[in-house]
Chains A and B, each alone.
Chain A
């Protein structure tokens, strides 16, 4: 029998399904991936029931595949999201997002006196906690909690 979530949202011929997005982060994922600015067909489902998460969001994007660093951007706010690559109605690849040990770019350091906010350079963080997400700036050594994390 098909997965519940698949039954809740119309099937996709070719493209990407991003599943297991926390409901309160769904529209943030849309904006990070700039899905509000693309021409292809996008189906968004939110507050769908999920055995794993209670409630979840799901996004189906037709004819669109994602690079690794794009996926990384999602990992920061939806670390449990799953990326399904669909070709001809079949899931040909399932990727579980995993936070890397180190994150380069993407996030602005919360410390205004950090060198990364004052030099033309790429910020870099060590992931020191996964749940809840905690990042430590490689430069100013400031620790940032999930709520403080602001994407560049």
Chain B
């Protein structure tokens, strides 16, 4: 079993998280460094995710490494019935690091047990996606100059949104105040509220995305409210427009406020927000590149 893998954000201590953020800042200053020269990274995407795959592959390419892999399980041996273990064992013969996305939860943890090659979890079903969490932290730190003592507003689908759950888990190291804004059906699950209580994270909950909350926010983290998540479609029709951020709602917001979103967005952030300097979601996605360069080079002990 490889000791050096990134499967879940909770695998990383506060120091390790800060180290990744520091390294990422270095890559942002100088994104083209040939430290992966002669190394091969495998990107195994058993479930398609173009955005995440392109980000990881760009990270490898800009560091001078080579990429092998597949972008869809349909083109891999798993359609012939090969087990995940066999696929990982095979690829371990070729690659120095494996970046994998899988539709089954726990797949990356299992993969990390059957190989000595470092595994980077690029998403396992609804479970974990730690590089997303690290890029969220990087974006918060970069825009606010700190990770602690902030008012962070999480909006939208807080029940199924794995990014907001992982962000909460990581923020246990950096005490801030959270506002959970969601329709009743998609409220923050009680286990995460308990997690906050256990870890001294201050939180408030509401079903109203109010002006008052927006005006005191340092970070607004928007997520998609998806129709298919609702058991009651009448409820969906009632709330679908209540969790949309529009530009005029930002008129009295703080100067340091930044809007984050894991993307893809549908309509939860109106197009007119994009030109507001407080909109940060596209830069946030770019930060993913630097954070992934940091993750890969740190797992390979190259920095």
Residues of chain A at the chain B interface (Cβ within 8 Å) = 111, 113-116, 118-121, 137-143
Contact = CB atoms under 8 A, between A and B. Distances in A.
B110 A142 contact: no
Contacts of A114: 104-106
Nearest to A142: B105
Contacts of A142: 105
Contacts of A139: 105-107, 109-110
Contacts of B103: 113
B83 interface: yes
Residue of B106, B127, B128 with most chain A CB atoms under a 10 A cut-off:
B106
Residue of B104, B107, B191 with most chain A CB atoms under a 10 A cut-off:
B104
Contact of B105 (A120, A121, A140, A143): A140
Contacts of A138: 106, 109
Given A140-B127, A141-B8, A115 B106 contact: yes
Given A119-B85, A119-B110, A140-B105, A113 B8 contact: no
B104 A113 contact: yes
B203 to A, nearest CB: 20
B107 to A, nearest CB: 5
A113 B83 contact: no
Nearest to A137: B106
A53 to B, nearest CB: 29
Given A114-B105, A115-B104, A121-B85, A143 B191 contact: yes
Contacts of A119: 83-85, 110
A128 to B, nearest CB: 11
Interface in B80-109: 83-85, 102-107, 109
B83 A120 contact: yes
Contact of A121 (B110, B124, B128, B191): B110
A115 B85 contact: no
Contacts of B8: 141
B3 interface: no
A140 B125 contact: yes
Contacts of A143: 191
A87 B103 CA distance: 54
Interface in B93-143: 102-107, 109-110, 124-128
Contact of A115 (B84, B126, B128, B191): B84
Interface in B53-77: none
Given A113-B103, A115-B110, A143-B191, 18 more contacts: A113-B105, A113-B125, A114-B104, A114-B105, A115-B105, A119-B83, A120-B83, A139-B106, A139-B107, A139-B109, A139-B110, A140-B104, A140-B105, A140-B124, A140-B125, A141-B105, A141-B106, A141-B127
